[in-house]
Amino acid sequence: MAPKQEFIDEVKEIVLGHSMVHGVHDLIVHDYGPGRVMISLHAEVDVNGDIQDIHEQIDHIEHELQEKLHCSATIHMDPIVTDDKEVLAMKAKVEEMVHFLDESFSMHDFRMVKGPTNTNLIFDVSVPSCCQKTDNEIMNNLKEKIKELPGGQYSPVIQIDHEYY
């Protein structure tokens, strides 16, 4: 049985209430009955942050979720670039393509990896369970649009994620 939307919203509100977290995705809820709820999620954090400080804050968030929502939480840290204008501009372009394809889609884990002949654009697209498009349709559409970008030297590496709640 899927968790209540209020629970999902509370989890996201608590995690995003910490300034070092820039985004939340890949939330999975396992409900084994009263007092036995386990969650896992990915929290986007600044790639340039101090790893020990971030780890300590993530531990604090896990404990806060335990205290407030009575669930066991495991949080995976996803480092993201927050201060490179070129990366942020490309992320915005690709995010616009994702939303143009379907407004209910979201994008996360965006990375730009430059090579000698092309630049890989690596990202995940979250797709709601009610989506009628296949993963291949989504990926092929985005790949076509990305190849049309000026310069034409971009290779998309796309992971499609489906909601688990």
- Picking from 67, 114, 88, the residue whose alpha carbon sits closest to that of residue 22 is 88
What's phi and psi for 25, nearest 5 deg?
A: -155, 180
- What residue type is assigned to position 103 of the chain? E
* pLDDT of residue 33 exceeding 90: no
Averaged pLDDT, 104-121: 93
Positive or negative torsion for Cα 136, 39, 6, 79: negative
What size, in residues, is the chain?
165
Average of pLDDT values for 70-78? Answer: 96
pLDDT at 126: 93
Q: How confident is the model at residue 65 (pLDDT cuts 50, 70, 90)?
A: very high
Identify the pLDDT of residue 165: 64
pLDDT for position 44? 96
pTM of the model: 0.85
Say whether pLDDT at 104 is over 70: yes
